[in-house]
């Protein structure tokens, strides 16, 4: 009696990007456009505040990555009332910017993941879905950072707040840039990669 042929391994379940359904079709395209417009609008709105912060001693990057109580006290002292007011304005407006870029990056990576999956590139699709989650984490970390900075602007500069703000800034920068680069590179690569037909229920 001949041995039974080995059964095929169970297909690996594809990772689903957050809010994937929201970015499908025409409605998803419109949401992407709205997110991009919001990002640009809020980004432009906070430019005067960012300029005043820099003009009075320290720019936004130095503020977000201060990391120590001594450095934060130094920044706040050098800013004076004008710099303080500008920083508070920046923190408030930047929440809209975060919402815009967060939705934009999540949507771009989610749509890329769906397209890669349909065209037979499941591993790349999984990476795109992971980076969509990364974009969500980046936006959440950035929003948390703004809350911490708001506390620091109101005199709460003891540890661990400065370190927490710097850690959130690092997470945001790393994940958001990674998602943006992958989304751009993936869209370019899809124009050159041939579609691969994969039997239903299987992955490459």
Residue 160 lies in a domain: yes
Amino acid 203: pLDDT:
46
Q: Digits of tens for pLDDT over the chain (204 positions)?
A: 455 555 444 445 678 888 888 898 889 999 999 999 999 999 999 999 999 999 998 999 999 999 999 999 999 999 999 999 999 999 999 999 999 999 999 999 999 999 998 888 899 999 999 999 999 999 999 999 999 999 999 999 999 999 999 999 999 999 999 999 999 998 888 877 665 554 445 444
Residue 197 lies in a domain: no
Residue 101 lies in a domain: yes
How far is Cα 157 from Cα 191, in angstroms, rounded to an integer?
50
Amino acid 171: pLDDT:
97
Amino acid 190: pLDDT:
80
Would you state the structure tokens that stand for residue 52, as one six-digit string?
Answer: 């005043």
DSSP conformation letters of the chain: -PPPPPPPPPPPPPPPPTTGGGGSHHHHHHHHHHHHHHHHHHHHHTHHHHHHHHHTT--HHHHHT--SHHHHHHHHHHHHHHHHHHHHHHHHHHHHHHHHHHHHHHHHHHHHHHHHHHTT-HHHHHHHHHHHHHHHHHHHHHHHHHHHHHHHHTT---TTHHHHHHHHHHHHHHHHHHHHHHHHHHHHHHTTSPP----TT---
pTM of the model: 0.86
Residue 4 lies in a domain: no
Domain count, the chain: 1
Residue 142 lies in a domain: yes
Amino acid 52: pLDDT:
96
Residue 196 lies in a domain: no
CB 204 within 8 A of CB 11: no
Residue 15 lies in a domain: no
Amino acid 8: pLDDT:
45
Residue 159 lies in a domain: yes
Handedness of CA 109, 110, 112, 116 (dihedral sign): positive
Structural domain for 175, as ranges = 20-190
């Amino acid at each position: 009696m001949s041995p039974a042929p080995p059964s095929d391994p169970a297909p690996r379940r594809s990772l689903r990007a957050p809010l994937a359904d929201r970015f499908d079709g025409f409605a998803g395209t419109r949401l992407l456009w709205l997110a991009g417009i919001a990002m640009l609008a809020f980004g432009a709105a906070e430019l005067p505040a960012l300029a005043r912060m820099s003009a009075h001693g320290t720019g936004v990057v130095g503020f977000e990555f201060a990391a120590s109580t001594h450095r934060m006290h130094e920044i706040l002292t050098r800013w004076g009332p004008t710099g303080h007011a500008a920083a508070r304005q920046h923190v408030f407006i930047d929440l809209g910017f975060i919402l815009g870029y967060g939705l934009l990056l999540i949507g771009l990576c989610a749509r890329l993941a769906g397209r890669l999956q349909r065209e037979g590139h499941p591993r790349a699709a999984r990476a795109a879905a992971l980076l969509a989650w990364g974009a969500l984490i980046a936006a959440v970390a950035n929003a948390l950072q703004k809350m911490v900075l708001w506390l620091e602007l109101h005199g709460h500069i003891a540890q661990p707040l400065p370190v927490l703000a710097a850690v959130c800034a690092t997470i945001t920068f790393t994940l958001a840039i990674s998602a943006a680069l992958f989304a751009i590179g993936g869209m370019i690569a899809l124009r050159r990669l041939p579609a691969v037909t994969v039997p239903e229920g299987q992955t490459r």
